[in-house]
């Protein structure tokens, strides 16, 4: 097995960035999901509520982000300039984070036609993974629940074979928004992967990832293509665990040992 690809999503639910190399830290790949959009009540926003987030292209800068959406002028955001700290909520977590300045949030609200604000998780912000699944305390960014999502190319091939045999169109791996894509010859082999070593990095795979309506959205346009892959996953990959109900694809991981990873690096199972 080897690392097929690496991906970060600097703003939760917005367009991702493909990497050749990544710095793996406790909260995940460096730069992954440290920014997020919230509504007027400080509640997190994703493509589940606003599919247009998929169309927001993101470039990282030394001081923040450069965002582009359709024909709007690019928006350069300097998070070093903000002094505002307030609480936000993402799933069951409430934490204090940095808020972008009012002029930035006014522009973003115009883009989306509703009140939104951009927030940033700095090193002062603390959010922990669910201890029910991860026995070792670990921090996480604005990802849904865990620092890293690992997927398997052979599993996508098996899923797409089922979809095509049922008359549908295959789906790309981008629908699942992974961080680390492992090239493997064994479909669903990740069910038995307890830990992975990639160079010096060690990842503990702690929870199968339940999937939602976002997987049916084109990650370039935000438009729903069909009921796939959820329909196929309901047949192939319904979770047997009542504590993790739903359809599953990929594995959530926490970081046991930090370091650098690169594409094409061998991936070893850790017993």
For the full predicted model, state whether its pTM sits above 0.95: yes
pLDDT at 172: 99
Give yes or no: residues 143 and 231 share one domain.
yes
Give yes or no: residues 87 and 198 share one domain.
no
Domain end: 61, 96, 120, which one?
A: 120
pLDDT at 40 over 90: yes
The 10s digit of each residue's pLDDT in 160-199 is 999 999 999 999 999 999 999 999 999 999 999 999 999 9
Beta 64-68 vs 57-60: how paired, if at all?
Answer: antiparallel
Q: Is residue 49 part of a domain?
A: yes
Per the prediction, the chain carries an average pLDDT of 97
pLDDT at 132: 85
Give yes or no: residues 48 and 116 share one domain.
yes
The 10s digit of each residue's pLDDT in 78-128 is 988 888 999 999 999 999 999 999 999 999 999 999 999 999 999 999 999
pLDDT at 116: 98
Helix locations, the chain, DSSP H: 102-112, 153-165, 230-236
Give yes or no: residues 159 and 266 share one domain.
yes
Q: How far is CA 262 from CA 20, 98, 259, in A?
A: 6, 31, 10
Domain span including residue 211: 2-6+130-270
Residue keyed to tokens 């998780």: 121
What is the domain count for the chain? 2
**Can you tell me whether residue 236 is helix, strand or coil?**
helix
Give burial (CB, 10 Å; 0-12/13-18/19+) of 191: middle
pLDDT at 211: 98
Give the percent of the chain with pLDDT over 90: 94
Give yes or no: residues 266 and 144 share one domain.
yes
**In this structure, which long-range contacts are made by residues 79-87, counting pairs with CB atoms below 8 Å and at least 24 apart in sequence?**
79/120, 82/120, 85/124, 86/42, 87/42
Q: Torsion over CA of 168, 174, 177 and 179, rounded to 10 degrees?
A: 130
pLDDT at 191: 97
pLDDT at 131 over 90: no
Give yes or no: residues 114 and 143 share one domain.
no
pLDDT at 225 over 90: no
């Amino acid at each position: 097995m080897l690392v097929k690809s690496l991906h970060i999503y600097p703003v939760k639910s917005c367009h991702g960035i493909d990497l050749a190399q990544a710095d793996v830290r406790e909260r995940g790949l460096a730069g992954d999901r440290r920014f997020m959009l919230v509504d007027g009540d400080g509640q997190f926003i994703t493509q589940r509520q606003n599919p247009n987030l998929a169309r927001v292209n993101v470039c990282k800068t030394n001081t923040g982000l450069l965002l582009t959406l359709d024909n709007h002028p690019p928006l350069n955001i300097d998070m070093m300039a903000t002094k505002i700290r307030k609480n936000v909520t993402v799933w069951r977590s409430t934490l204090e984070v940095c808020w972008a300045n009012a002029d930035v949030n006014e522009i973003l609200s115009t883009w989306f036609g509703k009140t939104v604000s951009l927030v940033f998780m700095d090193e002062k912000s603390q959010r922990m993974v669910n201890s029910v699944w991860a026995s070792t305390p670990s921090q996480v960014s604005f990802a849904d629940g865990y620092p890293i999502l690992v997927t398997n190319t052979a599993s996508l091939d098996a899923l797409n074979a089922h979809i095509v045999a049922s008359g549908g169109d295959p789906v790309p791996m981008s629908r699942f928004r992974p961080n680390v894509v492992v090239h493997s010859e064994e479909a669903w082999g990740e069910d038995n992967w307890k830990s992975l070593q990639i160079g010096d990095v060690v990842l503990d795979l702690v929870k199968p990832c339940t999937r939602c309506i976002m997987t049916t959205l084109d990650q370039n346009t935000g438009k729903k293509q069909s009921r796939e892959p959820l329909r196929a996953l309901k047949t192939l990959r319904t979770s047997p665990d009542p504590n993790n109900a739903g359809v599953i694809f990929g594995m959530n991981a926490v970081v046991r040992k930090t370091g650098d990873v690169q594409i094409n690096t061998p991936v070893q199972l850790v017993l």
